[in-house]
Amino acid sequence: MEIQKLIQQIEKKKSMLCVGLDVDLEKIPKHLLDHEDPIFEFNKAIIEATQEFCVAYKPNIAFYEAYGLKGWAALNKTIDYLNRFYPEQFTIADAKRGDIGNTSSMYAKAFFKDLNFDSVTVAPYMGRDSIEPFLSFNDKHTILLGLTSNQGSEDFQFLKSEDDFLFESVLKKSQTWENSQQLMYVIGATKADHLKSIRSILPNSFLLIPGVGAQGGSLNEVCKNGMNSSYGLLINSSRGIIYASSQNDFAEQAKLKAKALQREMALFIK
C-alpha cells in the first residue's frame, strides 16, 4: 500500500488505530472452539466489528506459529479475508524477523509475496544487509524495532554510543540504507517522553506505537509528542480491544472499545 493511501484513510476515519490480532485460544469465547477454525472465526468477527474505526490490523505471528499448521492456515485465511473485503486496511505482519541477507530475502518473500502483507516488523541487530532485502519490495514497508516498551529495553537500547543512545544510533544509521524511505519504526508508547527527540531524527517516518492501553502508555502524550504533518502514527491496541469480553458479546464490546479510542484520536486529527 502506498503511504498516501494510508494517510487518506487516517483523514477519512479520523483514526490512527491499529488493532492487534493476537489470538490466544485460552482467552477467546469458549463457543468459538466448536468451529473448525476458531482463530479465523474470532478474527473475522473482530475485523467486522472494528474495521470502521481503525486503519490497520497487526497479527502477531507468534500467536499463529504456536498452533502449527492450523495456526498458519488461520493466518493465511485472515490476511486473505482482509485483502479481499477490506483492502483499504494497512496490514502488518508482526514477525520481528531479520537475518543474513539470503535468509531475510526468504522472510520478505514469505510475508510480502506469499501472504501479501503491506508491512513486516524486523529486528535491526544484524545491520544493513539483514534489512535491505525487505526494502527491495516496492510499495511494501519495513517496520524497524526502534525503542520498545518492554522492561528489557533498558538492557541495550539506552547504552551510550558517543553522544547518542544506542537506539538513536540505530535510527540514524537506518536512514542511510538503500530504500530507507520505505522504513517505519516501532516506538513503544511507554517511551513517549523520547518521541520529540525521535521526531528530530525521523521527521517524516510513520511510527508504529504499541503499548497504549494494557501496557499503560498515554494516547495524549503519544499524539502530542509524536504526530507530524502527515499524522505519522499507527497506534496499536491488542488485548484492550479484542479481549474486552470473553462472552458471546465479545465482538460488540470490541467495537465499543475501538470506537472509544477512535473518538479520542479524532481530537488530534484535522
Q: Which CA distances in Å does 161 have to 164, 174, 267?
A: 5, 15, 38
Give the residue carrying C-alpha cell 538503500.
Answer: 178
Catalytic residue among 5, 70, 77, 96: 96
**DSSP SS3 for 57:** strand
Strand partners of residue 182: none
Distance CA 57, CA 20 (A): 6
**In angstroms, rounded to a whole number, what is the distance separating the alpha carbons of residues 50 and 31?**
20
Residue 233, C-alpha cell as written in the block: 502514527
CB 218, CB 195: distance < 8 Å: no
Is residue 27 annotated as part of the catalytic site, yes or no?
no
Beta-bridged to residue 144, according to DSSP, are: 122, 185
Catalytic residues, which ones?
Answer: 96
